[in-house]
Amino acid sequence: MPEIKMPSLGADMDAGTLVEWRIAVGDHVARGGVVGLVETQKATMELESFADGIVEALLVEPGAKVPVGTVLARLRDGDATSAGPVQLPPAAPAPAPPLAPPPLVPPPVAAPTGGAAPLPAAAPTEVAAPPSARVRGSPAARQRARELGIELASLHGTGPHGAIVLRDVHAPPVAPKPRPAPSLASPMRAAIAAAMSRSKREIPHFYLSHTISLKRALAWLAEVNHDRTIQTRILPGAVLLRAVAVALWEYPELNGFYVDDAFQPSEEVHLASAISLRTGGLIAPAILDADTRTIDELTQDLQDLVVRARSGHLKSSELTSATFTVTSLGDRGCEAVFPVINPPQVAIVGFGSISERPWVEGSTVVPHPTVVAVLAADHRVSDGHRGGLFLSTLDRLLQDPAKL
Amino acid sequence: MTTLPDQILATLCKIAPDVDPGSVDHARPLVDQLDLDSIDYQTLLATLSKEHRVEIRAVDVPTLRSIDDLARYVETHRRSP
């Protein structure tokens, strides 16, 4: 019987919160249809059904946080005759477990929330001095003390007649400042830390770098875009994505998952793009079947993905199925990025920013727009020889963009 | 009635909610003062094109760098309703 489960969005996710259902018992759901909203450490996303059927039972209530893999809803085969929400489910009805209790899972890396609270105020103010005592202090010192939440009377003055002056007012030496903690306290940062730590711990990365001339690709792009409007113009990023997707056909050992001590190559190319979020952190949703999409379509896909990633409207399939990732630093980044593989994937390519570099053309040196592509791949699955050929293939494809 | 540059700024802030509109220098290139990537810029231009009924040609994009540039372009290319 088909089920809808809490999806895993990769190594960095152990639990998710069901935000809302968009289906009710008796509804017909189609494969790929949106059935609810799920919130993870990194994003809120639309939960999709991976099967057709009629909703038989909703097993988890909105607000509940449940481990990855928990059955959220049960469907039954949706043959047209047996409609109606009424009939009893064939087996035992909705099993009890996850229904109510929210925190089945320990909160992520939960840095003590107290630590990040109001800054220094706490302790020293308790050291109450007799409020009546008139304390000598300069206006600047009084002002500073107020800002820091310090009683003037608790300070030792070094000014004239023991008056407290500005230099006497220091922020209280409270516990070590909880500065570094807040970053880890953010669920997004904790999720990234978990995934990247696992990657660096488990995946024997190797890196290959190759500088590619984009003179032809950009000239072709300028020609194609010449008569286009803003809505239809092609972005350079889409050309790179297309070239990667096509190159992967020849290098199946870079496209897939490493699960249970074995590599599972993927027939499909679901190309993830690392997208930085304005609230901090990043997320890497995939363009599904990217190798079947044209450059025009990929331009639209990419824009659509970025807008939805930043507005929290990604679909669960986009976050669960990536087989390879591309990270691109854009126009204002630095020249190269050495990316970290996003497990369970086995490779990632990083593009630095496109910039003019001296290029040898025959016997002369001329400026070319270039990009540095860095491949990081998993030595359990592939090696430098094949990785190098992949980058050469990428280069070759980008020299003939019209054929892409 | 808000001015055209203010309307453009408002559109920008919808795309990049972290932008403080008061801090944006209308004359300076936006990418020099704000954390905007190429997709943000593409989204901004596409949205302005729709909102102001202006056809923005792809070849003109490199000239559209500041709020003032955008306001001028919209002003001169706006189709009559």
Domains for chain A: give ranges and CATH numbers: 3-76 (2.40.50.100), 121-168 (4.10.320.10), 204-403 (3.30.559.10)
Residue A149: the pLDDT is: 76
Give the Cα-Cα-Cα angle A215, A217, A218 (nearest 5 degrees): 70
CATH topology classification for B4-14+24-77: 1.10.1200
Interchain CB distance below 8 Å, B42 and A235: yes
* pLDDT (0 to 100) of residue A79: 59
Measured over the CA atoms of residue A300, residue A305, residue A308 and residue A314, the dihedral's sign is: positive
Chain-chain contact of A231 with B39 (C-beta, under 8 angstroms): no
Please report the pLDDT score of residue A69 as a whole number.
87
Q: Which of B12, B36, B37, B63 has the most A C-beta neighbours within 10 Å, making it the best mutation to test the interface with A?
A: B37
How confident is the model at residue B50, as a pLDDT?
Answer: 94
* The pLDDT of residue A134: 66
Q: Which of A223, A226, A229, A230 to mutate to test the interface with B (most CBs of B within 10 A)?
A: A230
- The predicted complex's ipTM stands at 0.88
B43 touches chain A (CB under 8 A): yes
Is A27 a catalytic site residue?
no
Q: Which residues pair with A47 in a beta bridge?
A: A36
**Distance in Å, alpha carbon of B36 to nearest chain A alpha carbon:** 9
| pLDDT score at A172 | 61
Q: Which bin fits A161, alpha (ψ -120 to 50), beta or left (φ > 0)?
A: left
pLDDT tens digits, one per residue of A109-131:
333 333 333 333 333 333 344 44
Task: Identify any residues that bridge with A147 across adjacent strands, giving them in sequence order.
Answer: none
Task: Give pLDDT, residue A353.
Answer: 94
pLDDT of A44: 78
Interface test with A, best of B38, B41, B52, B63 (most A CBs within 10 A): B38
pLDDT at A87: 39
B38: which chain A residues are within 8 Å (Cβ-Cβ)?
Answer: 235-237, 330-331
Amino acid at A221: L
State the residue for tokens 């003390």.
A145
Contact at CB, B39 and A306, closer than 8 angstroms: yes
d(CA A355, CA A334) in angstroms, rounded, equals 9
pLDDT per residue of chain A (404 residues) written in tens, 0 to 9: 788 988 877 666 778 889 889 999 999 998 888 999 888 777 778 888 888 899 999 999 998 899 888 999 999 987 544 444 433 344 444 444 443 333 333 333 333 333 333 333 333 333 344 444 567 777 778 877 877 777 777 788 887 777 888 778 876 655 544 444 444 568 888 888 989 999 999 999 999 999 999 999 999 999 999 999 999 999 999 999 999 999 999 999 999 999 999 999 999 999 999 998 887 888 999 999 999 999 999 999 999 999 898 888 899 999 989 999 999 987 777 999 999 999 999 999 999 999 999 999 999 999 999 999 999 999 999 999 999 999 999 999 999 999 99
- The answer to whether the Cβ–Cβ distance between A330 and B38 falls below 8 Å is yes
The answer to whether the CB atoms of B58 and A330 lie below 8 A apart is no
User: Which residue out of A27, A383, A385, A395 is catalytically annotated?
Assistant: A383
pLDDT of residue A182: 46
Which residues partner with A54 through β-bridges? A28, A76
Cross-strand bridge partners of residue A95: none
Indicate the domain borders of chain B: 4-14+24-77
Tell me whether residues A230 and B18 touch, CB distance under 8 A.
Answer: no
pLDDT tens digit string along B13-54?
Answer: 988 888 898 999 999 999 889 888 888 899 999 999 999 999
